[in-house]
A and B are shown apart, each in its own frame.
Chain A
């Protein structure tokens, strides 16, 4: 009897904690029944590839969110990353090559250069937040615009096409039937899981989110931890950008625009709390997947793109509202 009561309570709890996920799955089920094509292999592959890239970006943002910060520069850094990589990986015979004098570089060296350059912007974010005490919201908002400006200047706002085949094959290729992008995302996910759960840095990150003052008193170098978090985040965004450009076969300054909001939404749906100190890699994966499912469902229903923005905006607000309710109720 008591057990039954306990069970019914835990079911209510489960429903409450996962409300938005359940609602979106119901929408998916509805679409799936109406549109048999929805469950096709092609659609599934498309979904997994989209999820893979956005997951990498969301994992980057999650570190900022867990420490009660945020990172609004994510989307523009994705754009910058894609442009830097693409510029260096244009085919040498491509007619409108942006920098025709550029020699054929090793692809992996290009990736490394791109990631390091974007990482520097993250380093600046982290340093400004830690040492100048500028709130993360303002710091990264400023950085968002700054990065966009830099990207416009160095590309001359030209679209960058004609990418080398070895580069684009990363996005199109697969190993044992699994798209390479998905494998890359899984590796990133595993490494980040390790960082979050098996290292001091991870523990310090959760501690800063839980109570920054207490973390400082307990001897945690909060400045160092935050600088690492924002730098690493920027590196992940640039990796996301590199993969997006490969996938699209070209890029422009507008690549990745608005991705920070999608990433924040996905994190929140996946249980990363805006109150800080809480969030799991597995949750983020679910959050991204669910958000992508929602987008594809709306496409299948033939909802016009303009309207999907309205729905996405609502989902973000509802997800955060539901998240905060959890903590209000437990007070």
Chain B
């Protein structure tokens, strides 16, 4: 009998033009948490998709429970005891908790009617097992993200999963919720279930996992016991070189006030209210707070995506009315949205189209004919300046990695030469190396006298980059901290001030 519950050996997988996996391997012991780490594009997700039957591997073998196994599709994977909790959860919001758990395999009465009583009772028992205490009959849409995640896990447990793949499970959780998740994971371990845990958060990895496998460029780098590793060691192994500093040196000098927001209040009752703050030229203003503190909503309102009930925005000494993004752009404000896929990229369009879309008015002949030569030049300059890795400017943006997509969208705004950059979670889902590059771009913009608003849920990043940090809680500003006084503790205490 093998020591491993799961062995993936010499797995290779190619897509047109890229070798996504090159003889990768992964060996998971029963009842352990196995962290899978690597930069974006290192092949973690691809490897997991091969395991879960979303992709078919080109070469290699999967040995599950001592037997060579072929996994045809996700359903087959579930039947064999492999479950996946997705990065973006895919629940059915308007149905009940129990229905979400048993969707696709409802318990039946007389082989035909759905046995609602049994389904609800079973769901309740399952929820207790994952330390969740709520009525399985409520609609899923009434729950928080972490509760929905717990339901996904309950679903996996109910399907008798022996391995649960968790892809970035904590990316939208608060600290309490993370602790709760870790409790659940520990109780799963005790039942002999193994977890494959993918995350970019190093401290988390070191506290929860038993083993760590690191990948780089689709290749297997090695597997270590988590006890032997430090954050520095992991980073070095992931990027293949030593990263001396996590943050670039900053030499920006904040100047006069360019933006003043007074008493801004959303038209929605449960959103931001009575927000006051100022932003100075050449300043990096960090925005901290928990998920749900209405930070994105506030800045989307300033950008004209959402509506306000009262309050005013004074920009360069003049009161401005911004009713739609176009107005904000014309004033010289840029917004890098939180959800790249939803509101950032045009997946099927080329890099060139993605870069130029917001500044086409600058590249016209006779006032209406696009000057493709100039646009091409703009794209080439940006690709070079931000070192965007792409085969050509005609490449579709959806084939780039997250970090490169982010750089393309930054280029889109650079092309407009705005004075204020609102960056909402600019490094979310981006690997360590690319993060540093994004930070350098931010520091450089501030140095040129651009004002930066950086919303971030990562405290080290906020403290490392900001000149001042405005913390929000429950739609209100709970405090503004100067750089010198900023610590993780005082930001967290402000972030939970009104909770």
- Chain A interface (Cβ < 8 Å from any Cβ of B): 9, 197-200, 203-204, 206-207, 209-211, 213-221, 273, 275-278
Known interface pairs A215-B357, A216-B325, A217-B325; A210-B349 also in contact (CB < 8 Å): yes
**Pair B353/A206 contact, Cβ less than 8 Å:** yes
What residues make up the interface of B, taking CB atoms closer than 8 Å to A? 16, 303, 305, 324-326, 328-330, 335, 337, 342-349, 353, 356-358, 360-361, 364, 368-370, 372, 412
CB pairs A–B below 8 angstroms (21 shown): A198-B369, A199-B370, A200-B364, A200-B368, A203-B357, A203-B370, A207-B353, A207-B357, A211-B344, A211-B345, A211-B347, A213-B343, A214-B345, A216-B324, A218-B357, A218-B358, A218-B412, A220-B326, A221-B324, A273-B348, A277-B349
Residues of A within 8 A of B16 (CB): 9
List residues of chain A with CB within 8 A of the CB of B369: 198-199
Given contacts A200-B361, A213-B343, contact A275 B348 (CB under 8 A): yes
Q: How far is the CA of A221 from the CA of B304 in the complex (A)?
A: 13
With A210-B349, A216-B305, A218-B412 given, is the CB distance from A200 to B344 under 8 Å?
A: no
**A220 and B368 contact, CB distance less than 8 A:** no
Q: Report Cα–Cα, A28/B369, bound state, in Å.
A: 40
* B324 surroundings in chain A (CB, below 8 A): 216, 221
Contact in complex: A217, B305 (CB < 8 Å):
yes
Cα distance A215–B358 in the bound complex, in angstroms:
9
- CB <8 Å contact, A218 and B348: no
Q: Is B326 a contact partner of A210 (Cβ separation < 8 A)?
A: no
**In the complex, what distance in Å separates the CA atom of A211 from the CA atom of B335?**
16
Min Cβ gap A12→B in Å is 11
A-B contact count (CB 8 A): 81
Does B326 lie within 8 Å of A211, measured CB to CB? Answer: no
Distance A200 CA – B363 CA, assembled complex (angstroms): 10
- Closest partner residue, chain A, to B399 (CB atom): A330
**Majority DSSP secondary structure for residues of B touching A:** mixed
Query: How many angstroms from the CA of A219 to the CA of B16 in the assembled complex?
Result: 34
Q: Contact between A219 and B329 (Cβ–Cβ < 8 Å)? A: yes
Residues of A contacting B357 with CB < 8 Å?
203-204, 207, 215, 218, 220
Residue of B nearest to A277 (CB): B348
Interface centre among A206, A209, A210, A275 (most CB of B within 10 A): A210
Interface of A is mostly: helix
Q: Is the CB of A214 within 8 A of B346?
A: yes
Q: Which of B16, B325, B329, B357 has the largest count of A CB atoms less than 10 A from its CB?
A: B357
> Which residues of chain B come closer than 8 Å to A275, judged between CB atoms?
348
A207–B349 touching, CB < 8 Å = yes
17 new A-B contacts, CB < 8 A, other than A207-B349, A213-B342, A219-B329, are A199-B369, A200-B361, A200-B364, A200-B370, A204-B357, A206-B346, A207-B346, A207-B353, A210-B346, A211-B343, A214-B342, A214-B343, A215-B346, A216-B305, A218-B329, A218-B358, A221-B324
A273 CA / B325 CA spacing, docked (Å)? 28
Shortest Cβ distance from B340 into A: residue: A214
Interfacial chain B residues near A214, Cβ < 8 Å: 337, 342-346
On chain B, the residues within 8 Å of A277 by CB distance are: 346-349
Contact with B353, one of A203, A213, A217 (Cβ below 8 angstroms): A203
- A206 & B361 in contact (Cβ 8 Å cutoff): no
Bound Cα distance A215, B344 (Å)? 8
A203 touches B305 (CB 8 A): no
Q: Which 10 A-B pairs have the closest CB atoms?
A: A210-B346, A219-B329, A277-B348, A218-B358, A219-B326, A213-B343, A200-B360, A210-B349, A211-B346, A218-B357
Q: With a CB–CB cut-off of 8 A, which chain A residues contact B303?
A: 217
Query: Do B343 and A217 touch across chains, with their CB atoms under 8 A apart?
Result: yes
Report yes or no: B329 in contact with A210, Cβ–Cβ below 8 A: no
Q: How many Å lie between the Cα of A330 and that of B416 in the bound state? A: 33
Nearest chain B CB to A220 CB, angstrom units: 7
Q: Min CB distance, A237 to chain B, in Å?
A: 25
Give bound CA distance, A206 to B345, whole Å. 12
- Taken together as a complex, chains A and B put the C-alpha atoms of A46 and B117 apart, in Å, by 68
Question: In the complex, which residues of chain A have a beta carbon less than 8 angstroms from the beta carbon of B364?
Answer: 200
By the criterion CB–CB under 8 Å, are A199 and B368 in contact? yes
Q: Is the Cβ of A206 less than 8 Å from the Cβ of B349?
A: yes
- When C-beta atoms are compared, the residue in chain B nearest to A221 turns out to be B326
| A273–B305 alpha-carbon span in the complex (Å) | 28
Q: Could you tell me the distance between the alpha carbons of A8 and B28 in the complex, rounded to whole angstroms?
A: 38
Report the separation of the CA atoms of residues A276 and B16 in the bound assembly, to the nearest whole angstrom: 23
In the bound complex, residues from chain A placing their C-beta under 8 Å from that of B329 are: 218-219
- Would you call A217 and B348 a contact (CB within 8 A)? no
A4 to B372, CA, bound (A): 34
Report how far A276 CA is from B369 CA in the complex, Å. 24
Q: A216–B346 Cα gap in the complex (Å)?
A: 12
Nearest-Cβ distance from residue B398 to partner chain A, whole angstroms: 8
Q: B residues within 8 A CB of A203?
A: 353, 356-357, 360, 370
**Could you tell me the distance between the alpha carbons of A277 and B326 in the complex, rounded to whole angstroms?**
21
User: Which residues of chain A come closer than 8 Å to B326, judged between CB atoms?
Assistant: 219-221
**What is the chain B residue whose CB lies nearest that of A275?**
B348
Q: Report how far A277 CA is from B353 CA in the complex, Å.
A: 11
Nearest Cβ distance between residue A206 and chain B, in whole angstroms? 6
List B contacts of A200 (CB < 8 A).
360-361, 364, 368, 370
Contacts of B344 in A (CB 8 A): 211, 214, 217
Q: How far is the CA of A213 from the CA of B361 in the complex (A)?
A: 20
Chain A residue at minimal CB-CB distance from B368 = A199
User: A210: which B residues are within 8 A, CB to CB?
Assistant: 346-349
In the complex formed, the residue of B with least CB distance to A331 is B54
CB distance from A251 to the nearest CB of B (A): 36
Query: How far, in whole Å, are A128 and B436 apart by their CA atoms in the complex?
Result: 47
Q: How far is the CB of B306 from chain A (nearest CB, A)?
A: 12
Contact between B348 and A278, CB atoms less than 8 A apart: yes
Contact B325 A219 (CB under 8 A): yes
Given that A199-B369, A206-B353 are contacting pairs, would A219 and B358 also be in contact in the complex, using a CB cutoff of 8 Å? yes
